[in-house]
Structure 1
Amino acid sequence: MRVVFGDGTLAQLPVEAERLEMTRILVLSTPEQRDQAGDILAHLGKRAIGSFDRATMHTPVEITEQALAVVRDKVVDGILSVGGGSTIGLGKAIALRTDLPQIAVPTTYAGSEMTPIIGETKDGEKLTQRTRKVLPETTVYDVSLTLSLPPAISATSGMNAIAHAVEALYAEERNPIISLMAEAAIRALADALPMIVAKPDDRDARHQALYGAWLCGIALGSVGMALHHKLCHVLGGSFNLPHAPTHTVVLPHAVAYNAKGAPDAMRRIASALGAEDAAQGLYDLAQRLGAPLSLAGIGMREADIEQAVAQAAARPYPNPRPIEAAALRRLLQNAYSGQRPAGEHA
């Protein structure tokens, strides 16, 4: 993948489109980012043939089918996704089915642009697969596009990114190089996010956060996922909970669950956070950012916990600690109520 990183890099989009021989580009966005899609269309000029602004979180298959109809009707030869994980996920879903080249222009810290992973929702279930077909050919990071990201969304988007790096540290396929990147990513975001919440137009902090998110995405895409991501896929796909807030709430509790099974990872997470305990450090960071701390607060019903436990235990991802239904139930109950996780040695 080619990466263009900096401030004002949108100006390079025509060059990148020409390099990929894109002449009929469809620009993807969510409804909320329609204006940013319009700016992209202006940069691309005659190379853009229109936009599709119905990208939705968790990449529902029915939305992908609507976008594919536009792709066929307009004889599209390239996709440009501007936005976060929802939009980039839609671009991946189109590429999976068509093999069209993609340019990703992230505006959040989701990191999806760096991973060969796609998660799609169908019939109330979110399923993921890993294939290099979905990797964008080019990613253009432009710090200026993140300046308008509200502090609350910046916080949860950044915590979502941290989750990628956290699980890379105890993934089954972990390796020393990715672990170095993951630890650096956590440190960059943990330092930058409080500054962004305090001063959203701080370009240096935004630069540092986008750099951290880039590293987080590479970490997730290079190794694997574990319990935290499985739980979030279940909660998002089956109960339609918002993606980044769900990651924010679940992460400290998933880390507490895995603490004794991955002691080296816990030390590295705590060090990157400047905390004594990994799980508590993550919880305290979310609290400091004013981010949601409970599943109840983002729309989950307590009655759904049992179904979530069953689904997460049915097809678990590799995890450093065995998946035990009773312990999983406690994890979700704690996340539901939003209580601070117990320390590693409690």
Structure 2
Amino acid sequence: MEFVHRTLPQQVYFGAGRAAANLAAEVRQRGASRVMVIASPRERERAERVCARIDVAVWHDDVVQHVPVATAEKARSVAAEHGADLLVSIGGGSTTSLAKAVALTRGMPIVAVPTTYAGSEATDVWGLTEEATKTTGVDSRVLPAAVIYDAELTLSLPVGLSVASGLNGLAHCVDGMWAPRADPINQALGAEGIRALARGLPLIAADPSGIEGRELALYGAYLSAVAFASAGSGLHHKICHVLGGTYELPHAETHATVLPYVLAFNAPAAPEAAGRIAHALGSDSGTAEAAVAALDELRVRLHAPTALRDYGLTEADLPGAVERVLAVVPPSNPRPVTGNNLTALLRAALTGAAPATQLEEI
């Protein structure tokens, strides 16, 4: 074996019911005196409980999906106006992403308190949207210095959104198997992340008030993000960033819908990765077909999102989407991507065609 692996420095706290205490300890350790808390109006009550033991200089609740540049600039101005020396983000991926946008230019540390299974809290990837184009980048300044996981904070997340968010995390694991910097270490983390999410999500669906499934999902989401941050962004994420930024599709649902089609596209050309994915999903077989079938079975069991048309994408949008995705496809993708096979992939995701049928057709 020969590879170069990159591990990101980050403090991780994990414990149900421990968010307020762990946040207070982290703020005290950092000696922060001007804390800016970013939380959407929907998260405000929960955020106030989490922040009960710290002094908050300013609350900011203008959180928008895919982080429009104007939204980022507004948050940056608030941080400057109040002399903030620490950002605390409490919420899902959009909230974490807004904190990252502030840190990108202000250079202040972030303490992320996730309430979904998005995983963005464990990456150094930022994203901003302007004029229907989502731009992403990697910068050490946006990696949260600390992450506080508390499964109790996810109990109010509806099952449907929990499933979509968890499959978004699972997409990080799958994409990391063949992303530009994939290596045996992040592949191992990704496989364990798949196992945790594949166990945790059905438990959440069966018992939304149970802690075990929520903890497994958070654990899996963290592993998925660490694997993704190391491996880089693969074809799946390039597709979803285009669809989200250009057509304003919902983030988690888009990832959950597109994932099986990218797996069906790449798995035959990456048999070792397909085997890891299949076994992590509980299959006795390690074939590409088994990986696709196991993921599809999980999605059916969870009543997961199945068609992009349910979220506003149309057949007329496909040519533009194909053009934008082709411009950012990683050269290292296991299978060559063309206008024709990418159109077929997106059309299948648009209509919700059975992913298994795409193994040979795409």
User: Which residue does the alignment assign to 2:6?
Assistant: none
- The yes-or-no answer on 1:43 pairing with 2:53 is yes
Letter of the 1:6 counterpart: G
Deviations 1:236-278 (A, max 9, x none): 0000000000000000001111122211111111111124522
- The yes-or-no answer on 1:247 pairing with 2:286 is no
- The yes-or-no answer on 1:54 pairing with 2:62 is yes
- Tell me the SS of whatever aligns to 2:127: strand
1:152-163 matched pairs, under 5 angstroms: 152-163=160-171
In 2: Cα distance, 1:320 partner to 1:122 partner: 31
User: Which residue does the alignment assign to 1:327?
Assistant: 341
Q: Pick from 76, 82, 92: which aligns with 1:74?
A: 82
| Deviation at residue 41 of structure 1 after TM alignment | 3.3
- The yes-or-no answer on 1:151 pairing with 2:159 is yes
In 1: Cα distance, 2:309 partner to 2:300 partner: 16
1:160-175 matched pairs, under 5 angstroms: 160-175=168-183
User: Which residue does the alignment assign to 1:288?
Assistant: 301
* Deviates further, 65-74 or 91-100: 65-74
User: Which residue does the alignment assign to 2:135?
Assistant: 127
1:1-346 matched pairs, under 5 angstroms: 1-10=10-19, 11-44=21-54, 46=55, 48-275=56-283, 277-318=290-331, 319-342=333-356, 344=359
Letter of the 1:109 counterpart: Y
Letter of the 1:301 counterpart: T
Deviations 1:301-340 (A, max 9, x none): 2210111001001222241111111000000000000011
| Deviation at residue 195 of structure 1 after TM alignment | 1.1
Contact 1:172–1:320 (8 Å) recurs in 2: no
| Deviation at residue 85 of structure 1 after TM alignment | 0.7
Letter of the 1:228 counterpart: H
In 2: Cα distance, 1:293 partner to 1:303 partner: 19
Deviations 1:71-110 (A, max 9, x none): 1111111100001110000111100001011100011110
Contact 2:87–2:110 (8 Å) recurs in 1: yes
In 2: Cα distance, 1:88 partner to 1:221 partner: 15
Letter of the 2:24 counterpart: P
Contact 1:52–1:67 (8 Å) recurs in 2: yes
Letter of the 2:22 counterpart: Q
Letter of the 1:296 counterpart: R
In 1: Cα distance, 2:40 partner to 2:299 partner: 26
Percent of aligned pairs with the same residue? 43
- Tell me the SS of whatever aligns to 1:54: coil
| Deviation at residue 283 of structure 1 after TM alignment | 2.5
In 2: Cα distance, 1:284 partner to 1:338 partner: 14
Over the aligned positions, Cα root-mean-square deviation in angstroms equals 1.3
- Tell me the SS of whatever aligns to 1:55: coil
Contact 1:116–1:221 (8 Å) recurs in 2: yes
Contact 1:125–1:234 (8 Å) recurs in 2: yes
TM-score of the two chains, using structure 1 as the length reference: 0.96
| Runs of 5+ unmatched residues, structure 2 | 1-9
TM-score of the two chains, using structure 2 as the length reference: 0.92
Contact 1:231–1:312 (8 Å) recurs in 2: yes
| Deviation at residue 30 of structure 1 after TM alignment | 2.0
In 2: Cα distance, 1:284 partner to 1:300 partner: 25
Deviations 1:89-144 (A, max 9, x none): 01111000010111000111100011111111111100110111110111111111
| Deviation at residue 227 of structure 1 after TM alignment | 0.9
In 2: Cα distance, 1:135 partner to 1:230 partner: 20
| Deviation at residue 191 of structure 1 after TM alignment | 1.1
In 2: Cα distance, 1:281 partner to 1:224 partner: 25
| Deviation at residue 13 of structure 1 after TM alignment | 1.2
| Runs of 5+ unmatched residues, structure 1 | none
In 2: Cα distance, 1:2 partner to 1:143 partner: 17
